[in-house]
Structure formats: C-alpha cells, structure tokens
Structure 1
C-alpha cells in the first residue's frame, strides 16, 4: 500500500526544472473588475473608429439611407483643391510650432530648475494658461490681435512699431495662431520636463560646477542627455497634436484670410457639418489617422536606438 501511494505522489509531482504553476485566486476577480471599463472604452472608442472606417466608403448625411460607394469618397477627396491647401497649411503650422513651441518649454524648464527661490510661484504662472478654457483664451488673443484697438498693436505703437494686420493678412495669420497655441500649451509641457529633471543626479551638477563648467555646458552635457527620452516622446506628441490643430483656426480665423489657415481638421469639420457629407469627412479622417500612424511607427523605429542609449 505504501509503495502504491509513493508512486502516485511521484506521478503527481512536477518534473524537475518545471515548478508547479499556482493558479492565481484573483484572475476571475480581475477580469470582472476590468470588464465594465473595457466595455465602456470599446463603446466610446473602438466602435466609433470602426464606424468611421465604414463611413469612409459610404455616401450619407446621417439622415438618408447610407449608400455604399467604395472608393468614391477618396477619389473626390483627392480631386478637391482645398485638400492640398489644408495639408500645406497644417504642415506650415507644425513647422512653426516645432520651431517656436518645442524649445520654449525646454528653456523654461531648465531655467526654473535652476531657481533657488520662488520656483513654486513661477510654476503656477507658467501653468496658468493651461487652466484657461481654450475658447476663452482664443477669444482673448483675438481681441489682442485686433488691428484697430488690439493690445499688441497698442504696445508696439509705444515703441514706434506697427500696426500689424495679425489675423487679416495671409502672411501673419498662421504665425499668430502658433503664438497663441504656444502660450496656451507650453505650461503642461514645462511641468513634464521639470518632473523629468528631478531624476538627474545632483552630484553631476556639483561635479561639473566644481570643475568650472558654465551653466550652458552643464545644460548641454548633463541636462539634455538625461532628457533625451522625454524630449523624443514629447516631440512625437507635439507633431501629432499640431497635425490635429482645430480650435485656433476655427474660432480665431475660420480658415481665413483666403483659406490661409484652413487645416485638415477644419476641412473635416466643413465636410461634415457645413457640406453635410459625412462620408468625405470620414475618408479624410481615415487618411489622417493612417498618415499619423505611419509617421509614428517610422519615428519610433528611427529613434529607438538613440532614445535608449
């Protein structure tokens, strides 16, 4: 009897090198806990994406019965001359936003990290524009940009400059939008950089300072290398965000003057809510998603080695 029991125990025992897997008692509970969240996310995120993909191949105004038109929406989209204008304007906004809006938060974060006193006050002041509702901020800047009685022209007039047609001239309109967007969005980025700077060892700065390194050499050789991963991620997020700019041109200029501030998202809005062609709007949305997805994949692959080094 004892020999039989010993053989059963050896048969039930796990093989050497393969420990027995213990079933987690929290598996079912975790699934039940996450199920409502996954369901809500699927209904409000995944399902609209699927609907947009199907809508891109249909002709509909969401009132009449949808008609399947295959690739006709995409053909009509590429035949629209305003599409090229919107793409160029969006790319121009992105370039200006990267030239001015990307280095400004880095500079502010580095300067604020070196402050000995009053850093909390400056953090509040820098983040304050983020707390202002976007439409309110844009309307305020629209008042500042007024060519007749705007604050900017009045201030520049004191030193003998201007007046400038900020939003009424095709050359000035887009830089004006970029200036407002940089002011409104820089605060959150500054706080992210400040949080990343807390991970930089203080001993490196102390050693560099004792060796007589200037503040700019410390920033170039210590701060920026430690921010490399965060900088690359924020650059990608800013490119994606600027490609989807909508509120500034919609509220401040409505795409004018002479369509100089019509962006891709503003064109999508016009297709859907001005022309009532939701199929064209969905087709352009799908194209934008594909372009941004491909751009992100290429960017992440190209910077994978540099960001991890």
Structure 2
C-alpha cells in the first residue's frame, strides 16, 4: 500500500467522522435556531410594528417603546425585578453552595439527602408554587402556625408590601435549590483531597479550608452560576403570576409579568415585545460586562 493510498484512507475516515459529528451538531443547531433565534428575531421586529395578526403590520418605529416608558407600572416593574434579583443573590445564591458543602462532608445517608434536596426540582413549578400558597395562608398556613407556636406575631407574607417580594424569593430559592446544589457537588468532588490534607496539616479550620481551598478551586463554577442566577431571576414570572398577581399594590409586578399583561390582558403584544427587547438588551449588557471582568480575573 502506497503512502498516497494510506493518506486517502485516513482522509476518508476523517471526513466520515466529521460528517457524523456535524450531523449530530446540526440537529441541535436547528432546534436552537427554530426555538431560540427565530423567536428573538421576530420579537425585535414586532417591537417596531403595530399588528393584530389579521391586518398587514404597520411600522411604527419607537412608538411601542414610548408607550411602555409612559406606563406608570414600568418603573416599579424594573425596580421589583432588580430587587428580586438582588434578594435572590443574597438568599438563593449562597444557600445551594452551603448545602453542597454539607452534603459533601457527610458520610451517611448522602444519596438519600441528595434526593431530598433535588426533589423540588422534579415537581412541576406550578405545584411547588401552589404548595407555598398554602404555607403562606394568613390563618391556617404552615408558616404562621409555626410563628404562633413560638408566640410570634403572624405575618402577611403575600398580603403585605413589606414581605410579598421576599416571600417570592423564598419560593424561587426552594424550587431551584436542587439544581444548584448538584452542580456545586460535582465541582466539589473534583477538588484533590491532598489540598485539604495540606490545609489541615497547616492547622486550618473548616472555615479556613472553605475560604482558602474550596472557594478558589470552585471559582469558575461560582462565576458561571452567578451569571445564570442573574439571568434566571430577572426573568421571574411564575411566582408573581400564580401567587400574587402582581400585588399587593404592584409590589411584585416584574418586567416579564408586565410583558404578559401587555400581551394577554391589554391586547398590546407589540408593547410586550418592546419590553422583552429592553430586558434582552439589559441582560446582554450585563453578560458582556460580566464575561469581560471574569476573563480579566482568570488571566
């Protein structure tokens, strides 16, 4: 067999291998383009049009954006969304990491406890939200019953402007706790045990080991989860939709919930698209800044 024949055979195998790989990749790209890129492009187009999907669309430029800006609910919706995101970072970002550290240190019942932690993720979101609706009941709810047993005053939870948004954050944190915990667990198990042994020999306590070993070794996944947390929480919808309806006094109206109101309650789908474009731009700017800062920190 000549060298030329061998090269042709190798080239043929490489081509067949690449064709198979591109075949699998093309399916994912087609699905992503059809269900993600195509709707985003149409969202941008519809935000500059006025249409009822019966008559031909009319190009109105920035009119939909002006309508949304003039809405009295526009500023509160953004403020509530940013506040929800900040509270979710304070409450929901660190809790899965702490739970993962605890589970990683356990020697018994580890598999069972992982199942318990991940169980809320397996529930349909509507079921989890409605479960907390019973927990938050002013008279017969679980939380106020516990407070009464401790001789503490009952809280309004979903009926008070002071606690409604925090109550939604608690629901969101509980429903998403399992996913974050399992991701952190996977990252923790990649840390070499020698690093902890060396830290122990140097006299480091548990909190020092977490600070000097665990966090630096999981820095990349912590940064990625931070970005995903912000993107997910700024698109919160199910919790205010099912639990509060945006109340009380619009204290839980979020940007995505206001988009829903424009499209399905006000009959102004173009205004809803304009709001969606604004949110997309905000998340794009945040993601760009975040990725640049995290890249500089890694270098």
TM-score, with length taken from structure 1: 0.89
- C-alpha displacement of 1:143: 0.8
Counterpart residue number, 1:55 = 46
- C-alpha displacement of 1:208: 1.8
- Among residues 267, 272, 290, which one is paired with 2:281 in the alignment? 290
Counterpart residue number, 1:279 = 270
In the alignment, the residues of structure 2 paired with residue 205 and residue 141 of structure 1 have an alpha-carbon distance, to the nearest angstrom, of 40
Give a deviation string over 1:20-47, Cα, whole Å, max 9, x none.
x957422455555544543343222222
In the alignment, the residues of structure 2 paired with residue 83 and residue 173 of structure 1 have an alpha-carbon distance, to the nearest angstrom, of 19
In the alignment, the residues of structure 2 paired with residue 198 and residue 191 of structure 1 have an alpha-carbon distance, to the nearest angstrom, of 11
- Among residues 188, 191, 208, which one is paired with 1:217 in the alignment? 208
Check 1:203–1:30 CA distance in 2 against 1; reply closer, same or farther (3 A cut): closer
Counterpart residue number, 1:66 = 57
Alignment of 1:2-81 (within 5 A): 22=11, 24-26=14-16, 27-28=18-19, 30-31=21-22, 34-81=25-72
- Among residues 235, 238, 243, which one is paired with 1:252 in the alignment? 243
Give a deviation string over 1:115-147, Cα, whole Å, max 9, x none.
122211211111111111110010010111011
In the alignment, the residues of structure 2 paired with residue 262 and residue 191 of structure 1 have an alpha-carbon distance, to the nearest angstrom, of 31
Counterpart residue number, 1:208 = 199
Q: 1:62·1:278 contact (CA, 8 Å) conserved in 2?
A: no
Instruction: Kindly report the root-mean-square deviation, in angstroms, between the aligned alpha carbons of the 2 structures.
Output: 1.8
Partner SS for 1:170: coil
Check 1:110–1:265 CA distance in 2 against 1; reply closer, same or farther (3 A cut): same
- C-alpha displacement of 1:64: 3.6
Counterpart residue number, 2:225 = 234
Which residues of structure 2 form unaligned runs of 5+?
5-9
Alignment of 1:159-170 (within 5 A): 159-170=150-161
Partner SS for 1:147: coil
Check 1:40–1:192 CA distance in 2 against 1; reply closer, same or farther (3 A cut): closer
Structure number with greater Rg is 1
Q: 1:57·1:70 contact (CA, 8 Å) conserved in 2?
A: yes
Check 1:31–1:224 CA distance in 2 against 1; reply closer, same or farther (3 A cut): closer
Which residues of structure 1 form unaligned runs of 5+?
1-11, 13-20
Check 1:154–1:218 CA distance in 2 against 1; reply closer, same or farther (3 A cut): same
- C-alpha displacement of 1:261: 0.1
In the alignment, the residues of structure 2 paired with residue 202 and residue 72 of structure 1 have an alpha-carbon distance, to the nearest angstrom, of 60
TM-score, with length taken from structure 2: 0.92
Matched, 1:89 2:80: yes
